[in-house]
Chains A and B, each alone.
Chain A
Amino acid sequence: MIKKQLFIFISLFLSLTFSLLAQPELSPERKIAVDSLALEKVKDLSKYISMIGDKKTPFSEANRAVDRAMELFMEGSQMGVSAVGRKEIKYYGVRKYLERLMALNYQKVKIDWFNIQYISDLQRQPDGKYVGVITIYQKFEGVTKEGMKYVDTTKKDITVYVERKKTQVNGREIGYWDVMLGDIRVSETKRG
């Protein structure tokens, strides 16, 4: 029995070790390219969120933007939502968050993300994936039918997962970096 457990442990250890060794080491140039790729994905999300929130975006286009934004996330990722004067931070599944954003009860909505940067560099994990955290500032402006304006700025942290994968395209194998966004957590909210 002990022999069997030892065998399983050694097998798992070896397979994990080989798996790690199989992942390519990133040269500084390559690391810059991958960092930049992950940042671009966050910028893409920023544009989708802006589109989805904008009341001028046609419904069909907003729905399509929700689907495209969802493709950026890992399954089960959550989005934190805060408000000025409310201590509690609510977490929604990303799709639910985007659908709520689309249906916000404002006459006009403007969302801008700025200062998008890494606060935690991409680090290689034991499973071979690279994980980092990118922070963004989101400025939200909502104007009601009555002309009342609500403005807040929220600092949010986005966990980013990057994994090296291979696929076949027209019969040949190519290597690519799969960037997936994880939870988006609110770290600070202030008026204006």
Chain B
Amino acid sequence: MTTGSGGRTVPRERERPGLTPEESALVVRIGVFVKMRWLAIAGVLIASLIATQAFHIQFSLVPIYIICAVMTVYNFLFLYQARHLNVEASDSLPETLAVPLRHLLIIPRATSPLLARARATGNVHIIVDLAALTVLLHYTGGIENPFIFYFVFHVILAGILLHYRVAYLVATWAILTVLLLIGLEYYEVIPHVHLEGFAAAGLYQQGSYILSVLLALSTCLYASAYMVTSISGELRKRQREVVALQQKGLTEKTRELEEASEELTTLEEGRQHLLRFLAIASHDLKAPLSAVQSYIQLMLGGFSGELTDKQRQMLERSSIRITEQLELISDLLDISRIEGGQIVKEMEEMSLSQVVGDSVENVRAMATDKSIKLGTRMPASLPKLKASGVRLKQAITNLLVNAIKFTPENGEVLLRITEQSGDIYTEVLDTGVGIGAEDLPKIFDDFYRGSDREKAGSGLGLSIVKRVVEAHGGKIWAESPNPEDKKGRGSKFTFLLPKNLVIAGKKQGRKARLKSQET
């Protein structure tokens, strides 16, 4: 009666979110069984009609119609129940009934309420179907009817849906039911319906026939139970392994993510700690020197009475040493801040021409003191950048100070900005003493002061410039002698800021349009 090959996957309409593969497979299968029962009902009706009409086998169709009607009704109920499997909260009747069965067969508890409910539902399906098939058999010739072997489908169904012990129980139950039916008919406790024109009249009381059918049926049912349960057991095991693996993978990934985010937090905390520490260190290191320097300036300014030349000279030297020390502290703290990533926070829309102008102003007095010609050349319009204005000013100023420091009186220092295929090039050229070939590769190193140690300075100036440029994703290099100096003197420093810092579409400079027309 129930035809078919079991739990083939049907269209995925019945897959619900949030179900384990095992649960959803079971839900899908219960749906499949409901569909197959419709086919079975149709099959019974068609087979009966063919038997009576085409082969003129004589038997009453009325009981068959009644049984089909009953099956239709309970199949509708099953259909309804299959659609609401995971809706009900409380234990349904089939589940309550399934408990003693579970205890009897020592079946482990289902891993989820939905599984328990689906299995209990399966029990009910099988019991009702078994009963229906038995009654149907009774009205269609009993042992004369070869469809008696259709009990195998119940065993298959149980083997797929339920615990493997249930499959054997169903096989046993089917055999007992058949035995009871045949026995009652054999001893004529209940009337035998003879299929006239199909089987011999006394067949239902022929011992050898009955025994052979029973033997074939029993072996068939038990063998099916064995085959189906071993296959579906294996499948279920695999399914669980897959789920376990997935969950293991998921847990591991989650743990890795948690660890990574913890590390990030620790890093950020460390960074914040460093910056706080630097702010305090900066203040506490500079404050005493500032006070001393202020006193010295007060004395040098004549606010505490006249000074002798000797005193003045000594105070001036002290003042220079303190200034150097303050600069060294500033440089060290700047490096720590840049390394600590503060530069990223300082990046904002800024005007490069303003930075250039400020830097030149910073060193103008120094250049004038040495009668150095300080020139600036840059396009009338420069794009706006997303960069740290403070740090770029520091970088350009450092380069200019360096150039002025190493250029003799009456020399020239030129600051030139150009735009080449979007990148911004900043060049500082001088006509000074230049850099020895052995020094050139090391000038950007920390505390490197070249062979000419007479010049004041911490040796950190250029390494700060390099850090600033690189923090912006740029590059810096130096050439000596200055390739543009006709007498082969001096040096040339170039750094480029990549075009990705440029804020698109924002040009500045009042005469921009005018200039571009001229050129």
Do they bind each other?
no
B interface residues (Cβ-Cβ under 8 A, vs A): none
